[in-house]
Each structure stands twice: as structure tokens, then as C-alpha cells.
Amino acid sequence: MAEPCAELHVVENLHLSLPDMTRKPIFGAAPRIEILRGISFALAKGSVVGIVGGSGSGKSTLGRAMVRLLEPTGGRVLFDGIDITHRGEAGLRPLRRRFQMIFQDPTSSLNPRHRVRTIIAEPLRLHGFADIDARVVRALDQVGLAREMAGRFPHELSGGQRQRVGIARAIALEPDFILADEIVSGLDVSSQAQVLNLLERLVRDLGLTLAFISHDLSVIRRLCSRVIVLRQGAVVEDRPTADLFAAPAAEYTRELLASIPLPDPDQTWG
Amino acid sequence: MADGRGTIRRRAGLRLWLAGGWLALLALAAILAPWIAPADPLAQDLLGGRLPPIWVRGADPQYLLGTDSLGRDVLSRILWGARIALIVAALAGTATALIGATLGLLAGFLRGWVDLLISRLIDIWMAFPPVLFSILLIAVTGPGLGPIILAIVVIDWTRFARVVRAEAMAQGAMDYVASARVAGRGRIGTMLREILPNVVPTIVVLLTLEMGISVIVEAILSFVNLSISTDQPTWGGMIAEGRTSIHQAWWVLVFPLIALFLTVLSFSQLGEGLKDRFDPVLR
């Protein structure tokens, strides 16, 4: 990996809490649930960082706060030095092109009424790109989808193809940063491998900064140079992947590592 | 990478053909009523009253479906009545759909105080008994085509608003909405370009149901003499008149009833059929 030249995405002491409506009293405010409790890290330009954690660890919430689908209740989010923590939607719009997201479930994240062409072209149109048709074709080529797929609806594609459309939509905007939220967990093993290969190649070719959220350490090991381990909304470990797999410091990381099914149960990761 | 998924198409079912066929026939009859009606629907023939339909003994071949107690031709009156029925269905149905769906979409997608306001309005509105409400409304405005359409819109917009609101809320939770935000699309743009296309099939199904309901409401109001003035034949008016002479002349009641029944059934079946056609996932 190239030496990091600058920090692209910085998260400082991030807090996020949501009201718990199930325990809301009839009068007065609902008690709040702390989801993120003071998370800090910085992602270097061009780095590929895995964010891992069990269910309920806050990794998806963290991701959504990083691309400002959620507004943090404390701390700061800096994108390329710009404070986006509390920016309104109008203020975010010009920046939106630069940080994109690939969603977990492409069945839900691709509008079932739009054709693939529209799905990829609409964000380009919104950001005022020229020669949109050519860009759509290029994006399809880059993710290895046949050009005639542009005329199809999402339900006419396989799961792996749908996720490629999600990737194509994100990279077509030529972003600096992509957040991938559990993007292979809904796919079968061979599609997973294909999508991971594709992502690896795109990150290298396009010089992207990637935050890859997963509950699966074996996927992270394959793709990422650095791992951030989350537990109950706090960072428990933040180290280079090789170090982490060789000697996990936190008990929680050891548990996560132990939960990876190995082809040979007697073998260890070291 | 090429496979057959893009080439599968479903044929329109028998249901769609039958329902559409009847409605097309009815529309044609309504438009051509002045030319194809065998008699003037208002012309009375006091000597030829209560003549039975042509296949019953004692019929006059001039009156295919018989005459009512004033000697007016039943067939001609049904054909002219189709005009009123279809005009009410089309105008009241569309206006109801537009108003109700707009409010439902705004409430379901924007949420917050907009939703609070519209939802409370729906709750209050639905607490009024609908038939009394419409009778009251027409008692105030006076009978006529316009007031009937207004009464239907005023009462039934909540049907659209409730269903569309729920549907818009469900669609709003989908990731493609989050994805539109990540792409930098504004709230209203997302509502119109992303949510609306997914709600349209629901609106269309409701619209066809509403058209059927409009036909029934118009008939009910005619039945209680609150519809259009008596010198315009309506199905509801015919049914009301036929009821009084059911033992002497059943045909005066039965034929407009059959027309009403088939029309309402066709509207609802059309909606079901169109839903299947519209849904790209089911197609």
C-alpha cells in the first residue's frame, strides 16, 4: 500500500443516540439509546479500511453517520477537511458526489421501477455531468456487466448482478470515498468472491478510499489493510490487518476471530 | 451474462379482457346514446305502459327491454343512464384519486408535522357517517351532477389518503430512498421520481375501485331522490322507480340493476387485472 499522504475522512469523538420510542412515557421525551459512544479514527487517502463488529455493534450506524444519512449528536465528521457534521441537506448536496455508498441489500437499494440505465444515470444528471450515456456504458464495463443490461429492471438481474449495479452507480460519480455496508453478506460464496475481486480492482484502478463494513473478518482480511473493531458503539481495536490477525489484543477480537469457520479446524490464522 | 430474465412477458388475463370489454361497450353506448337509443328516453306512452321485454308474451317489438309504468323505453333509459354513470365515475374517481393520493403521499413520505396534520384530518373526517354526510351536502348545494361529484370527492378522499400514506411510508423505508439522498436528490424530487412510481399501481387499483363506488353512490343518491333532476334518466332513479312496481313489471328494476352490477364488478376486476400488468416484479 502507498504511504498515506493526507487524511480524507476523519471521525472525532463521534456520538449518536436515538430516542427509544418503545419506552417513551406518555408525556415527556423518550429515553435515548446510545448507539455510538465516542468513536475517533482517520482514514488516509487511498486506504482500504475494514470496520468489523458483531450484530448491534453500531457499525452500520457509524457508516450512515459518515455519509451523513444520519446526523451525529456529538463529535465531528470531517470530509477532506470540511466539517459535515451538522450540514443541512442543501449544504451537503455539492459534496455528496464525493462520498458514495454501496448498500447491503440491492433489492432494496435499487428502485424496482427504474431500469438499470436510469439508476446509474440519475445521480450523474443530478450532479450535472456531461455525456451521461457514455458514462453509464463505462460504469457498466467497469463492473463487468453487459451493456444490454442497461435496459433491464433490477428484478431481471441476479443477486450478484444487482450488487454490481449498486457498485456501478457509486463509481460512476467518480467519488473519492466509498462506504460499502455489508455488500457481500447477501450473496452466495461464488458471487461474493467475484464482487470482492471487482472491488479490489476498482479501488486499485480508481485510487478510491474505501471503508468496508462487515461482520465477517475473513472477507475483511482479504480486502483491507487496516481493521477497526467495534463493540457496543466504541472502538476496541484499530490496527493493520496483519497485526490483528497475528495477535489480536482485545478479547472481543479473539471471539470474532474464533467465530470464522476454517477449512481445517486445527489450523490457526497466524 | 445474458439470460432469459429480460424477455419474460405475461399475457393480459381473461379477467382484464372481460372487464375492459364491458366498460368499453358501455363507454361506446354512452357516447352514441343519442344515435343508437331506439326511443327518446323521456318520451311517455301512457297507453303502452309496463310492456314486458321482447321475449315475454304480450310484448311490443318496438320496446326491446319493455317499458316502465309511464311507457318510457327501458333500453333507451339504460343507455342514456350510462352517460351519467360514466361521467360520475370518471370525474369523481379521478378527482378523489388526485386529492387523496397527493395528501397521502405528502403525509407518508414527509412525515413530521405534515403527517400529523393530515392524519388527524383523516381521523376526524372518517368519524362522519358518509351517507348522511353526502345527503347533507347535497341538501345544502341542491341536486345536480356537480354536487354529486363534489360529495363523492369530499367523502372518499380519505380512502386514497390512508392507503397511499401507508404505502409511501413502507416505500420510504427502502434503501433506494437513502440511496437517492446519497446521490444528492432533494426531498420533493425523491418523492416524485422514486416513491411515486412505486405507489402508482396502488393508486390505479384504488382508482378503479373508486370508479365503481362512484357509480354506486350516484345510484344510491338517485334512489333517495337526491341526484340529478328527474328529466335525466339515471340507473339509480330507474331502480327506485322499478321498486314500486316490482310485482307488475320486474324488468323496470332488473335491467338497470344488471347494468349497475356488471359495471361495478368490471371496475373492480379491471383494477385487479391492471395491478398484475403494472407490477414489473409480477410481470
The reported pLDDT for the residue numbered A145 is 94
The reported pLDDT for the residue numbered A4 is 43
Nearest to A112 by CA among A67, A142, A157, A78: A157
Find which of B7, B110, B176 to mutate to test the A interface (most A CBs within 10 Å of its CB).
B176
Query: CA neighbours within 13 Å on the CB side: how many for A177?
Result: 24
The reported pLDDT for the residue numbered A256 is 85
DSSP state of B264: H
**CB A111 to CB B280 under 8 A?**
no
Segment A201-217 mean pLDDT: 92
The reported pLDDT for the residue numbered B89 is 93
* Burial letters A66-98, b for 16+ CB under 10 A, else e: bbbbbebbebebbbbeeebbebeeeebbeebbb
B187 contacts in A (CB within 8 Å)? 89
Give A127-150 pLDDT, tens digit per residue.
999 999 999 999 999 999 999 999
Segment A199-225 mean pLDDT: 91
**CB B185 to CB A114 under 8 A?**
no
The reported pLDDT for the residue numbered A1 is 39
Interface of B with A in 64-93 (CB under 8 A): none
Nearest to B269 by CA among B36, B47, B21, B5: B21
Give A69-85 pLDDT, tens digit per residue.
999 999 999 999 999 99
Q: Which residue has the cell 477497526?
A: A228
**CB B176 to CB A110 under 8 A?**
yes
In whole angstroms, give the CA distance from residue B215 to residue A60.
Answer: 52
Contacts of A261 (CB under 8 A, 6+ apart): none
Give the nearest chain A residue to B194 (CA atoms): A111
**CB B184 to CB A105 under 8 A?**
no
Please give the domain boundaries of chain B with CATH numbers for all domains.
20-278 (1.10.3720.10)
Give A5-59 pLDDT, tens digit per residue.
578 999 999 999 988 888 888 888 888 889 999 999 999 999 999 999 888 899 9
The reported pLDDT for the residue numbered B283 is 46
Q: Is the ipTM of this complex over 0.90?
A: no
Could you tell me if B34 lies within 8 Å of chain A, comparing CB atoms?
Answer: no
In whole angstroms, give the CA distance from residue B117 to residue B111.
Answer: 10
User: Rounded to the nearest 5 degrees, what angle is found at the Cα of B281, between the Cα atoms of B279 and B283?
Assistant: 65
Find which of B3, B179, B282 to mutate to test the A interface (most A CBs within 10 Å of its CB).
B179
* Exposed/middle/buried for residue B186 (C-beta within 10 Å: 0-12, 13-18, 19+): middle
Q: What is the 3-state secondary structure (H, E, C) of chain A?
A: CCCCCCEEEEEEEEEEEEECHHHCCCCCCCCEEEEEEEEEEEEECCCEEEEEECCCCCHHHHHHHHCCCCCCCEEEEEECCEECCCCCHHHHHHHHCCEEEECCCHHHHCCCCCCHHHHHHHHHHHCCCCCHHHHHHHHHHHCCCCHHHHHCCHHHCCHHHHHHHHHHHHHHCCCCEEEEECCCCCCCHHHHHHHHHHHHHHHHHHCCEEEEEECCHHHHHHHCCEEEEEECCEEEEEEEHHHHHHCCCCHHHHHHHHCCCCCCCCCCCC
Share of chain A above pLDDT 70, in %: 95
In whole angstroms, give the CA distance from residue B266 to residue B269.
Answer: 5
In whole angstroms, give the CA distance from residue B43 to residue B33.
Answer: 15
The reported pLDDT for the residue numbered B3 is 54
Q: Is the predicted pLDDT of residue A2 greater than 60, yes or no?
A: no
Residues B221 and B138 sit within 8 Å (Cβ to Cβ): yes
> Which pLDDT tens digits describe chain B residue by residue (283 residues)?
445 555 555 566 788 889 999 999 999 999 988 888 887 888 887 777 777 887 877 777 777 888 887 878 888 889 999 998 999 999 999 999 999 999 999 999 999 999 999 999 999 998 988 878 888 888 888 888 888 899 899 889 999 999 999 999 999 999 999 999 999 999 999 999 999 999 998 999 899 999 999 998 888 888 777 767 667 888 888 888 888 888 888 888 899 999 999 999 999 898 888 877 776 565 4
Q: Is the predicted pLDDT of residue A3 greater than 50, yes or no?
A: no
CA distances from B184 to A209, A240, B2, B87, B164 (A): 20, 33, 32, 43, 25
In whole angstroms, give the CA distance from residue A30 to residue A23.
Answer: 6
**Which among A69, A104, A158 has CB closest to B182?**
A69
Give the nearest chain A residue to B282 (CA atoms): A155
The reported pLDDT for the residue numbered B106 is 96
Give A161-198 pLDDT, tens digit per residue.
999 999 999 999 999 999 999 998 888 888 899 999 99
**What pTM was estimated for this model as a whole?**
0.85
Minimum distance, in Å, between the CA of residue A45 and any CA atom of chain B: 20
Minimum distance, in Å, between the CA of residue B174 and any CA atom of chain A: 5
**Which among A89, A108, A146 has CB closest to B175?**
A108
In whole angstroms, give the CA distance from residue A120 to residue A140.
Answer: 9
Coil, strand, or helix at residue B73?
strand
In whole angstroms, give the CA distance from residue A192 to residue B216.
Answer: 56
